[in-house]
Amino acid sequence: MSDLALSLKGVSKSFGDFQAVRDLSFEVKKGTICGFLGPNGAGKTSTVRMILGLSAPSAGEITVLGSTGQKVLDRIGFMPEERGLYRKMTPVDVIVFLAGLKGVKASVARARARTMLEAQGLGPFMNKPIKTLSKGMSQKVQLIACLIHEPELVILDEPFGGLDPVNQQGLESVIRDLADRGATVLFSTHVMQHAERLCENVVMLTKGRKVFEGTLKAARARAPRFLDLEGAVTREDVMALPGIKSTLDKGAAEDGATLWHCEIQEGGNAHEALKAAFVKGLDIRRFDTHEPSLHEAFIVLTGGLETGAYEHV
Q: Bridge-partner residues for 206, per DSSP?
A: 209
Is pLDDT at 313 greater than 50 in this prediction?
Answer: no
Select from 179, 198, 220 the last residue of a domain.
220
Quote the CA–CA distance of 286 and 212 in Å, as a whole number: 35
Residue 250: predicted pLDDT: 77
Give the mean pLDDT of the chain: 88
Q: Are residues 198 and 242 in the same domain?
A: no
pTM above 0.75, yes or no: yes
Residue 171: predicted pLDDT: 86
pLDDT tens per residue, range 55-84: 999 999 999 999 877 778 889 999 887 667
Q: Are residues 249 and 132 in the same domain?
A: no
Give start and end residues of each alpha helix (H) in 160-310. 165-180, 192-198, 216-220, 235-239, 270-279, 294-301
DSSP state of 191: B
Residue 1: predicted pLDDT: 60
The range of the structural domain enclosing residue 203 comes to: 4-220
Q: Are residues 236 and 142 in the same domain?
A: no
Q: Are residues 30 and 138 in the same domain?
A: yes
pLDDT bin (cut points 50, 70, 90) of residue 304 is: low
| Number of domains within the chain | 2
Q: Are residues 103 and 177 in the same domain?
A: yes
Q: Is residue 296 part of a domain?
A: no
Q: Are residues 105 and 88 in the same domain?
A: yes
Q: Is residue 76 part of a domain?
A: yes
Residue 192: predicted pLDDT: 84
Q: Is residue 145 part of a domain?
A: yes
Q: Are residues 212 and 234 in the same domain?
A: no
Q: Is residue 308 part of a domain?
A: no
pLDDT tens per residue, range 101-148: 999 999 999 999 999 999 888 999 999 999 998 888 888 899 999 999
